[in-house]
């Protein structure tokens, strides 16, 4: 599989990363280099193998469904790039 610049722009959009048209061709080359190298996994026989999702060889713990934290809006908002009162502020979404 080989990525063309249009596909690179589609991936960039999915990843929410702005890519200039001029960058897309170069990125396509870099990503294709990595993907071509990854293709070697196709030679591994994985028939009947269950996927391994993590390195922790343990069952997930359950915890009581209760509030354990909160009531600290100033700390939560302390790093906000922009805020209005007790809210994060973003560019207008609805006209």
Confirm or reject binding of residue 92 to other proteins (CB under 8 A).
yes
Query: DSSP states of 27-65 as a string?
Result: HHHHHHHHHHHHGGGGGS--TTPPPP--S--SPPPP---
Binding residue for other proteins, selected from 63, 67, 84, 86, defined by CB under 8 A: 63
Smallest separation, CB 24 to other proteins (Å): 11
- Name the residue nearer to other proteins (CB basis): 6 or 34: 34
Q: What span, in angstroms and rounded, lies between the C-alpha atoms of 4 and 12? A: 12
Confirm or reject binding of residue 86 to other proteins (CB under 8 A).
no
CA-closest candidate to residue 26, choices 52, 10, 4, 41 = 4
- Running DSSP on this structure, what letter comes out for residue 5? H
Confirm or reject binding of residue 50 to other proteins (CB under 8 A).
yes
Q: What span, in angstroms and rounded, lies between the C-alpha atoms of 20 and 93? A: 24
The residues binding other proteins (CB under 8 A) are 1, 3, 8, 11-19, 27, 30-31, 33-35, 37-38, 40-42, 44, 46, 49-58, 60-61, 63, 72, 75-76, 78-82, 88, 90-93
């Amino acid at each position: 599989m080989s990525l063309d610049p249009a596909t690179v722009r589609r991936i960039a959009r999915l990843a929410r990363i702005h890519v200039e048209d001029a960058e897309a061709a170069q990125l396509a080359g870099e990503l294709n280099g990595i993907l071509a190298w990854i293709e070697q996994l196709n030679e591994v026989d994985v028939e009947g193998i269950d996927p391994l999702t993590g390195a922790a060889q343990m069952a997930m713990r359950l915890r009581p469904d209760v509030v354990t934290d909160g009531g600290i809006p100033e700390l939560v908002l302390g790093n906000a790039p922009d805020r209005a009162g007790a809210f994060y502020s973003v560019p207008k979404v609805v006209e």
